[in-house]
Amino acid sequence: MPTEAVTKIRAFLNAQNLDGVLLRTRSNFAWATGGGDNHIVNTTELGVADLLILSDRMYCITTRMEAARIRDEELAGFGCEFVTPEWYEGTDEAILQLCAGKAVGADVWFHHLPNVASELAQIRSTLTGEEMERYRQLGQTAAKALEATCRELQRGWTEHEIAAHLAAKLLREGINPQVLLVATDERIFHYRHPIPTEKQLDRYAMLVLCAEKGGLVANATRFVHFGDLAPELEENKRKLAEIEVAMIAATRPGAKLADILQRGIEAYKRAGYPDDWRLLHQGGPSGYAPREFLVGPGETGVVRAQQAYAWNPTIRGIKMEDTFLVHEEEIEFITHTGEWVYMEAASEGRTYLRPDILIR
């Protein structure tokens, strides 16, 4: 039975005068199928089963060696027809035959088909009630695993060991850590996107997580410190909270994304770090990717209700990041567990609880 996503896709086809759309990416397969998984290799955005959605029928194109599992475990009840060439034949020719004589877009560059990936990302970024409920469950599970790791890690662990400890908690819940960054001590101050290394933890650790399940991705960052904070770090965490809540408070339905970014830039200036926003992207709408797209100064989009966002401002030695849903009158942090340590930061008359550094 077609999902709500398929209904949205077919409305898009009608509006764009297209006969169909080819979905090859893992994210769009998950979106269209209500959480289905078409991957084998975990380091590529493409899956092993493609969907061709037309106005009146749907096809799954995959090799015969993959078809049984996809049919039984991912697309049971989805209502599509299977086209299954042999593994040594590949699927390109079968796809081209199905598309022959039709106006078909694709979510990747594929032969002559026009790429409509950005348009699809705009559509899928507005979530359904069912998607938001799955997102809440993912956000809580992922954030609790992240925070538990911060409470359990020990001085002397390598960054690889810290990452492995967190990954084990996620994998046992069927969660794929799409992004898992760990930095300790001086590496936190030197690099904004630090992958784990063999460096051992002395006093300070940053853990960054983008956790995926059913296609949806929840994002959060947490810090842990052994012993008292240096005065500069104590000051910077509060400055950063003010930057972040300035952006969060501005994230309301109808707000221009470029204006939200500008609010953040102005807050960076007030904090005494006028150029630090250039050193790391500041985030944007989330959903079926860690960021559906990054919000830059020239962005023309606006916030819509039932979208998810994750802003991630950073200044020297500290970063903040959580995922939240935008509703008509309020926002809802889906990675806020209530089990962490928090500090208060206010903007536009509202006070927000933002994650503090855990002192151990």
Domain boundary among 105, 124, 143: 124
> In terms of domains, do 120 and 220 share one?
no
Rounded CA-CA distance 228/226 in Å is 7
Considering only the C-alpha atoms of the chain, give the largest distance between any 2 of them, rounded to a whole number of Å.
68
Confidence at residue 49, expressed as pLDDT on a 0 to 100 scale: 98
- Domain end: 124, 139, 156, which one? 124
Average pLDDT over residues 250-272: 98
319, pLDDT greater than 80: yes
Whether 53 and 6 have beta carbons less than 8 Å apart is answered as yes
Is the same domain home to 74 and 172?
A: no
230 lies in the same domain as 354: yes
Q: Please indicate, yes or no, whether residues 55 and 140 belong to a single structural domain of this protein.
A: no
Tell me the per-residue pLDDT of 178-216, one tens digit each, with 9 for 90 and over: 999 999 999 999 999 999 999 999 999 999 999 999 999
- Domain with 279 in it: what CATH number? 3.90.230.10
pLDDT at 1 over 80: no
pLDDT of 232: 96
Residue that terminates a domain, selected from 102, 124, 146: 124
Indicate whether 132 pLDDT > 90: yes
My answer on whether 87 and 168 are in the same domain is no
- The DSSP annotation for 278-340 comes to GGS--EEEESSSS-SS---TT---B--TT-EEEE--EETTEE----EEE-SS-EEETT--S-S
- Residues 50, 79 share a domain: yes
Q: Is 129 exposed, middle or buried (0-12, 13-18, 19+ CB in 10 A)?
A: exposed
pLDDT tens digit string along 41-96? Answer: 999 999 999 999 999 999 999 999 999 999 999 999 999 999 999 999 999 999 99
Among 173, 142, 174, CA closest to 334: 142
* Rounded Cα gap, residues 164 and 256, in angstroms: 39
Q: Do 249 and 134 belong together in one domain?
A: yes
Would you give the end-to-end CA distance of the chain in angstroms? 51
Length, in residues, of the chain: 360
Q: Considering the chain, what is the average pLDDT of its residues?
A: 97
Dist. CA 192–CA 256, nearest whole Å = 26
d(CA 121, CA 190): 33
Task: Give me the pLDDT at residue 2, please.
Answer: 79
Residue 22 and residue 19: Cα distance in Å, rounded? 10
Instruction: Answer yes or no: do 171 and 308 share one domain.
Output: yes
pLDDT tens digits, 94-124: 999 999 999 999 999 999 999 999 999 999 9
329 and 255 co-located in one domain: yes
Label residue 265 by pLDDT band (50, 70, 90). Answer: very high
In the predicted structure, residue 340 carries a pLDDT above the cut 80 = yes
**Same structural domain, 143 and 285:** yes
Q: Is 211 helix (H, G, I), strand (E, B) or coil?
A: strand
**Co-location of 58 and 141 in the same domain:** no
CATH number at residue 100: 3.40.350.10
For 225-238, give the DSSP string: ESSPPPHHHHHHHH
Structural domains of the chain, count: 2
Q: Which residues pair with 85 in a beta bridge?
A: none
**Residue 35, CA distances (Å) to 31, 155, 290, 346 in order:** 6, 38, 16, 36
Residue 250: pLDDT band (50, 70, 90) is very high
The string of DSSP letters for 64-122 reads HHHHHHIIIIISTTT--EEE---TTT-SHHHHHHHHTTS-EEESS-BTTBPB-HHHHHH
Range(s) of the domain holding residue 316 = 129-359
Q: What percent of the chain has pLDDT over 70?
A: 100
- Model confidence pLDDT, tens digit, residues 293-317: 999 999 999 999 999 999 999 999 9
Give the pLDDT confidence of 140-159 residue by residue, as tens digits: 999 999 999 999 999 999 99
Q: Tell me if 108 sits within 8 A of 115, measured CB to CB.
A: yes
